[in-house]
Amino acid sequence: MSITDPQDGVSDARVLAETTRTGLDPAAAQPPVRPGVWLLGRSPLHWVSLAMGSGLSPVAPGTMGTLWAWLAWRLLDPWLSTPAWAIVLGVGFFAGWWACTATARALRVADPSCVVWDEVLAFWIILWVVMPASFGLQLAAFVLFRLFDMVKVGPVGWADRLFKLAPGQMPGWAQGFGILFDDLVAALCALLVLALWQA
């Protein structure tokens, strides 16, 4: 991972402020930017979208982000009530949408693999619904969620395709939402399987 910022002198605020126009976007014609530790120094939004850097893992960043979410839940849960978690999830959705959009635009990629806030938010929702639960049930939830998110069968695949870019367009707010949306659908699928299993 490079620590050199390939966009020195280009602010995230300016990149995010650019609107996606119909037709060719000159910025989109430029090649994607390789993610690295340099992203964390650019904006607090990248700390969110990369889940404190866990998304920069060279191996299975989505799984690393979900593991980070699990650990963060275990650390935060003793201090947060169920209603407090609802507020965290609501704020996390809108802040995450902003952060995912900013990082996608900074990297010029509609759904960068290093962006793992979608996994974090979705897995927190699963835990919010199933807790209190045994370690075995939490592990089953983890495996099911990762399976649906990686294989993208049925509604998850549909959700993943819904916000794809047209050629020559820069990622925008729709793609930022799309980053979150397919993982939320994967979380719903995992919860449905768990509910049927527990019935």
- The tens digit of pLDDT for each residue in 181-197 reads 999 999 999 999 999 98
Does residue 7 sit within a domain? no
SS3 sequence of the chain: CCCCCCCCCCCHHHHHHCCCCCCCCHHHHCCCCCCCHHHHHCCHHHHHHCCCCHHHCCCCHHHHHHHHHHHHHHHHHHHCCHHHHHHHHHHHHHHHHHHHHHHHHHHCCCCCCCCCHHHHHHHHHHHHHHCCCCHHHHHHHHHHHHHHHHHCCCHHHHHHHCCCCCCCCCCCHHHHHHHHHHHHHHHHHHHHHHHHHHC
What pTM value is reported for the model?
0.84
Mean of pLDDT over the chain:
87
The structural domain count of the chain equals: 1
d(CA 114, CA 118): 11
Q: Is residue 5 part of a domain?
A: no
Q: Is 33 exposed, middle or buried (0-12, 13-18, 19+ CB in 10 A)?
A: middle
pLDDT at 2: 43
42, part of any domain: yes
Query: In angstroms, what CA-CA distances link 2 with 65, 114, 119, 131, 183?
Result: 20, 14, 24, 39, 28
Closest alpha carbon to 73 in 111, 130, 153, 152: 130
Residue 6 forms part of a structural domain: no
pLDDT of 197: 87
* Residue 4 within a domain: no
Confidence band (pLDDT; 50, 70, 90) for 10? very low
Any domain includes 51:
yes
Residue 61 has pLDDT above 50, yes or no: yes
State residue 165's pLDDT score. Answer: 81
- Give CA–CA dist 13/78, Å, rounded: 36
Q: Which candidate, 132, 126, 123, 120, places its Cα nearest to that of 81?
A: 132
pLDDT at position 102 over 90: yes
Question: Could you tell me the two tokens for 45?
Answer: 């939004």
Q: Say yes or no to pLDDT of 94 above 50.
A: yes
Q: What is the pLDDT of residues 136-182, one digit of tens each?
A: 999 999 999 999 999 998 999 999 999 888 766 889 999 999 999 99
Which residue range forms the structural domain that includes residue 161?
12-198
Write down the pLDDT at residue 185.
97
